[in-house]
Structure 1
Amino acid sequence: MVTTMTIKNFSPYNIVKDALTELRDNEKKVVSGRFGIDTPRKTLSSIGKDLRLSRERVRQIEKEGLAKLSEAIVERQGGYIERIIKLFEKYGGITATHKIPEKFLEAAYQGDPNQFNSMVLIFHLVPNLKKIKKTREIEDSWMLAHISRDDAVRIIDDWVGHLKKIKKPATIEILVDAHPHHQKYEMTFLSELPSISKKLIQTDSGHVGLSTWSEINPRNVRDKIYYVLKKMNRPMHFEEIAKKIHEQKFDRKRVVKATVHNELIADKRFILVGRGIYALREWGYEMGTVADVIKSVLDGNNEGLGVDEIIKEVLKRRVVKKNTILINLKTKSDFVRVGEDRYALSTKS
């Protein structure tokens, strides 16, 4: 994964806003409406109705306005345009449109739609850049002019086929090793491909999987719970799980603690291992009382086990305090002491 870099002391909105003052009134209204500068984005038809002009005339005005902006921005703001191109090169010459804020804008501007829309407008004006329209395969994206869209799509298809074959996420390096002819491409370029693909998704760890795999791209609450537990790799209280789901920002759907708790109870992939604490059943945890788990540990050990070993094995299967295990061993009739700090199942068990 490429380390994120942005352009410091750069406000696309201020640059565009200043340049728009040089346009005629209709040109300013059309360009602002089309790109969403200080207004929601509008269609040609919508703008045409507002200005009482045909769609074709609006399109012509937009073209004339962009030509003037190109002179006002690209030619006069050469330093910033050069930095945009250099940043594109650092990202392998490619970026998904939805990634523009985090890759090109400073943190203070990343949530501002005017800054985002202004940057998109500037991208439209830069001759070295080309827009890649959204398809069934790739997201709305931008590339340096010399980058091949077809090459990107072919590589993505190769990786999708390989992932379907191995049925598990893989690193970019593993995917490239599986296709030696991909080695001629820069790793920065290859690393960006999952972000423009609709079929691939890259995890925080850098592994790439299919977007249809719920374990890395969860859609419902149960799969989001599984994702969080798998990622944290430890038992968690249901309230903490709900908090982590919110922090992960899978989507805009709000998840409440009660819903998380209900799904944990209903799904057999999860197991209660403490007070409100859940784990993945695949980790080997067991249900039942502490005494039940101790019985499971001692079952088949006729000579018994040492206290330390019993505690170690119980903690692999339940989240419980050591003192609770000791109290159960000393007070429950199911267990009998068979030596110094050694216990076995009693004949009553």
Structure 2
Amino acid sequence: MTHLDTLPKVQELINSLLIVLSEKEKYIVENRFSLNDHPRLTLEKIGEKYNVTRERIRQIEKNALRKLSRNVNNTQLRDLTSMALQILEDNGGVVSEKMMVNEMLKLADSKEGIDVSSLKLTIDLDKGLVREHNTIRFRPFWRLVDLKPRDIRKACDAVKKELKKNEKVMSAAKLATHCQEKNGIACANEAFIKSAARLDRDLKVVSDGVGLASWRDINPKTLRDKIFYVFNEMKKPLHYIDISNQITELSFDNKSVNTQAVHNELIRYDEFILIGRGIYALKFWGYEEGTVADVIEKVLIEHGELERDEIVEKVLEKRQVKKITILLNLKNKDQFTKTKTDKYKLTTAAK
């Protein structure tokens, strides 16, 4: 039996494991972990049902989880707990709840029918790891039992301080070295820094490294910010429909994305430039606006007389057009003249 076989059966396996509990313990665990379509109830709400204090319910829940933990590795669920431990080890010993679940679901042939609530409880039951709950500062996460929470906090503090000092995104490798050498955090390897940064609400992991979540270029707020983010991530010109699709895929917030609104923003701001049919780029990348003839003219003004292929090469650096379009524009004798040495120059009247 492998994890691929076990994942779709996780709800069934958890329900079988619950047999070791009393009826009261089972009710509490089901309602605290949203099992079998039960809504998650507070300790106080469950306490009202049994006419006991919330602290008493907390104690019963704790004892019930101990029972389940003692028995979990005697079931096929051990395939999933070992998988969770491996994911933690691969990511520096700490992983956000969201990332852990996503990584495990990626290994399934299909996510259909996999009960995430049962999966989360299964991970909680392994004695080799510890769940840390949602707080104002940190998102919920799991850590290896021997990884100290203070090292996570200390690393995140050091990363934030260094980012504020440098005022730019820094690679996780550089930040890891800084944490090890300047702050004495031995566990701070590259994987650990990335994982820890994903937990802290003040930090954001991007393709180039780690930055502060308050920076608009890595945590965009407006539609214009989001377009900039997509260009910076993709690092190439894009069709406005592709930009819209990327914004939707990245799920920055709960706001819907309208393709026409994206196109309007691209037209509205000078930072974006049309370089082909519906294809836009960032102006500071060096692309030129205007007609193809305008771009050829600027190339000849800058470089002087050039051969045909040289002109084509330099125009394509600034615009995404077909080669034939450039060649057809060169035939405009009112603007461009072919010399006796097979080079092109600006027609005198066009200068």
TM-score range, shorter chain: 0.7 to 0.9
Q: Is the 8 A contact 2:337 2:347 kept in 1?
A: yes
Question: C-alpha root-mean-square deviation of aligned residues, in Å?
Answer: 3.0
What's the offset of the Cα at 1:326? 1.8
* Per-residue deviation, residues 57-76 of structure 1 (Å, max 9, x unmatched): 54454344334333442566
Identity of aligned residues (%): 35
| Alpha-carbon spacing, 1:287–1:72, altered in 2? closer, same or farther (3 Å) | same
What's the offset of the Cα at 1:219? 3.3
**What SS class does the counterpart of residue 209 from structure 1 fall into?**
strand
Q: Within 5 Å, which residues of 2 pair with 1:288-327? A: 288-299=290-301, 304-327=305-328
Q: Is the 8 A contact 1:101 1:116 kept in 2?
A: yes
State the AA in 1 paired with 2:100. Answer: I
What's the offset of the Cα at 1:232? 2.5
| Alpha-carbon spacing, 1:300–1:204, altered in 2? closer, same or farther (3 Å) | closer
1:178 aligns with 2:178: yes
1:10 aligns with 2:6: yes
Determine the C-alpha separation between the residues in 1 that align with 2:61 and 2:178. Answer: 47
Q: Is the 8 A contact 1:94 1:192 kept in 2?
A: yes
> Which deviates the most, 270-279 or 221-230?
221-230
Q: Within 5 Å, which residues of 2 pair with 1:324-343? A: 324-343=325-344
Q: Is the 8 A contact 2:13 2:77 kept in 1?
A: no
Q: Is the 8 A contact 2:4 2:108 kept in 1?
A: no
> Which deviates the most, 269-278 or 224-233?
224-233
Q: Is the 8 A contact 1:15 1:73 kept in 2?
A: no
Long gaps (5+) in structure 1:
1-5
Determine the C-alpha separation between the residues in 2 that align with 1:185 and 1:290. Answer: 56
Q: Provide the residue aligned with 1:3 in structure 2.
A: none
Scaled by the length of structure 1, the TM-score of the pair is: 0.84
State the AA in 1 paired with 2:15. Answer: K
Q: Provide the residue aligned with 2:26 in structure 1.
A: 28
Q: Within 5 Å, which residues of 2 pair with 1:1-349? A: 7-11=3-7, 12-39=10-37, 40-48=39-47, 51=49, 53-56=51-54, 58-73=57-72, 79-80=78-79, 81=81, 84-105=84-105, 107-108=107-108, 111=111, 115-179=115-179, 180-181=181-182, 182=184, 184-185=186-187, 187=189, 188-204=191-207, 207-299=209-301, 304-349=305-350
State the AA in 1 paired with 2:337. Answer: V
Q: Is the 8 A contact 1:271 1:287 kept in 2?
A: yes
What's the offset of the Cα at 1:279? 0.7
> Which deviates the most, 190-199 or 94-103?
190-199
**What SS class does the counterpart of residue 6 from structure 2 fall into?**
coil
> Which deviates the most, 118-127 or 327-336?
118-127
State the AA in 1 paired with 2:291. Answer: T
| Alpha-carbon spacing, 1:156–1:7, altered in 2? closer, same or farther (3 Å) | farther
Q: Is the 8 A contact 2:296 2:311 kept in 1?
A: yes
Determine the C-alpha separation between the residues in 2 that align with 1:85 and 1:241. Answer: 37
Determine the C-alpha separation between the residues in 2 that align with 1:157 and 1:204. Answer: 21
Determine the C-alpha separation between the residues in 2 that align with 1:90 and 1:19. Answer: 28
Q: Is the 8 A contact 1:7 1:104 kept in 2?
A: no
| Alpha-carbon spacing, 1:174–1:270, altered in 2? closer, same or farther (3 Å) | same
Q: Is the 8 A contact 2:207 2:233 kept in 1?
A: no
Q: Is the 8 A contact 1:131 1:143 kept in 2?
A: yes
Long gaps (5+) in structure 2:
none
> Which deviates the most, 246-255 or 94-103?
246-255
Scaled by the length of structure 2, the TM-score of the pair is: 0.84
* Per-residue deviation, residues 95-150 of structure 1 (Å, max 9, x unmatched): 11122213344543885797332233234433443332333432222222221111
Determine the C-alpha separation between the residues in 2 that align with 1:83 and 1:324. Answer: 56
| Alpha-carbon spacing, 1:219–1:172, altered in 2? closer, same or farther (3 Å) | same
